[in-house]
C-alpha cells in the first residue's frame, strides 16, 4: 500500500510548493486543516455549523473537532494524502495516528533548513498590495524592480508578520514544538529529512522515491 505523507516544515521552507507539485504530478490529495475548516463551514453540514460557532466565538478549534473533521473528509483506502500544517505538536501526532491513520502506512517529511537562511528568505518576501502576488527579492524577484509581474502594480510591500523580529519569534516557537514531533516519528522509523535548500525538483525526486 502507498504511504501517506505528513509534511512538517517552518514557514518559508517550501513545503507548500512541494505539496502542490505532488497534487498536480502524482495525484495526491492535499489536506490543509485550515482549508478543511472553511470547506466544511461552506457545506453547512452539522459539523460545519459546530465549527462556525466555535470560530465565531473567537475560540480555537479543538483537536477533537479537527480530528472529527479529518475522519469525515479523509478516505485513506481511496486516496493518498499529504497532511499539511497538522500535527503541530506531539499530542496531535499521537491522536492523528490513533484516530485517523490507524496503522495506515505514513511517512513524515521534514523540510530542514538553516534558521538564518529561513529568516533571510522570509524577510525578503514582498507582497503586491494590488493583486496579492508573492515575490522574494532573492529567489523570485519581479522582472522589473518594484513592479508586479502579474498586474503591473508598484506597491510591493513587506507584510507586518514578515518583519524580522516577528519571524524570529515565530520560527523559535515552531522549532520548540516540532522537535518532539520529529523525535516521535524518528523513533518509529517514519521520518524522512529533506534538505529544503536544494532545488525544487531534487526535493520532489527524493520524496517521490517514497510514494
Ligand atoms: Zn500585482
Distance, CA of 61 to CA of 52 (rounded, Å): 9
Question: Which tens digits make up the pLDDT trace of 84-104?
Answer: 989 989 999 999 999 999 999
- Domains recognised in the chain with CATH numbers: 4-28+80-114+171-208 (3.40.50.300)
Query: Residue 125 Cα, ligand 1 centroid: separation in angstroms?
Result: 14
Q: What is the pLDDT of residue 2?
A: 82
Query: Residue 49 Cα, ligand 1 centroid: separation in angstroms?
Result: 35
Q: What is the pLDDT of residue 160?
A: 85
Q: What is the pLDDT of residue 170?
A: 87
Question: How many residues are listed for the chain in this entry?
Answer: 211
Query: Residue 130 Cα, ligand 1 centroid: separation in angstroms?
Result: 5
Question: Which tens digits make up the pLDDT trace of 100-136?
Answer: 999 999 999 999 999 898 898 889 999 999 999 999 9
Tell me if 136 sits within 8 A of 27, measured CB to CB: no
Query: Residue 134 Cα, ligand 1 centroid: separation in angstroms?
Result: 8
In 3D, which of 72, 71, 73, 69 has the Cα closest to residue 55? 69
Classify strands 125-128 and 134-136 as parallel, antiparallel or unpaired: antiparallel
> What mean pLDDT do residues 132-153 have?
93
Query: What's the DSSP call for residue 100?
Result: I
Question: Which tens digits make up the pLDDT trace of 172-198?
Answer: 999 999 999 999 999 999 999 999 999
pLDDT above 90 (res 152): yes
Q: What is the pLDDT of residue 118?
A: 87
Question: Which tens digits make up the pLDDT trace of 32-81?
Answer: 988 899 999 999 999 999 999 998 998 888 999 999 999 999 999 999 99
Active site residues: 15, 88, 125, 159, 170
Model confidence at 1, pLDDT cuts 50, 70, 90, reads low
Q: Where are the alpha helices (DSSP H) in the chain?
A: 15-26, 33-43, 46-56, 63-73, 90-95, 115-123, 164-187, 200-208
What does the block give as the cell for 52? 462556525
Distance, CA of 58 to CA of 81 (rounded, Å): 30
Query: Residue 14 Cα, ligand 1 centroid: separation in angstroms?
Result: 21
> What mean pLDDT do residues 2-9 have?
94
Amino acid at each position: 500500500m502507498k504511504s501517506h505523507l505528513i509534511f512538517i516544515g517552518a514557514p518559508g521552507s517550501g513545503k507548500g510548493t512541494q505539496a502542490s507539485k505532488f497534487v498536480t504530478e502524482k495525484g495526491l490529495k492535499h489536506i490543509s486543516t485550515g482549508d478543511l475548516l472553511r470547506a466544511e463551514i461552506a457545506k453547512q453540514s452539522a459539523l460545519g455549523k459546530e465549527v462556525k460557532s466555535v470560530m465565531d466565538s473567537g475560540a480555537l478549534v479543538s483537536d477533537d473537532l479537527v480530528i472529527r473533521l479529518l475522519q469525515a473528509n479523509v478516505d485513506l483506502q481511496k486516496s493518498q494524502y499529504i497532511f499539511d500544517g497538522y500535527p503541530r505538536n506531539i499530542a496531535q501526532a499521537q491522536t492523528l495516528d490513533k484516530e485517523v491513520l490507524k496503522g495506515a502506512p505514513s511517512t513524515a517529511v521534514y523540510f530542514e533548513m538553516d534558521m538564518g537562511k529561513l529568516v533571510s528568505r522570509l524577510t525578503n518576501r514582498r507582497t503586491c498590495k494590488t493583486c496579492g502576488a508573492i515575490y522574494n527579492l532573492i529567489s523570485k524577484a519581479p522582472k522589473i524592480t518594484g513592479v508586479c509581474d502579474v498586474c503591473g502594480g508598484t506597491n510591493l510591500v513587506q507584510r507586518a508578520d514578515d518583519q524580522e523580529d516577528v519571524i524570529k519569534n515565530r520560527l523559535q516557537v515552531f522549532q520548540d514544538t516540532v522537535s518532539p514531533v520529529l523525535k516521535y516519528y524518528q523513533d518509529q522509523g517514519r521520518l524522512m529529512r529533506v534538505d529544503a535548500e536544494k532545488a525544487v525538483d531534487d526535493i520532489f525526486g527524493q520524496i517521490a522515491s517514497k510514494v
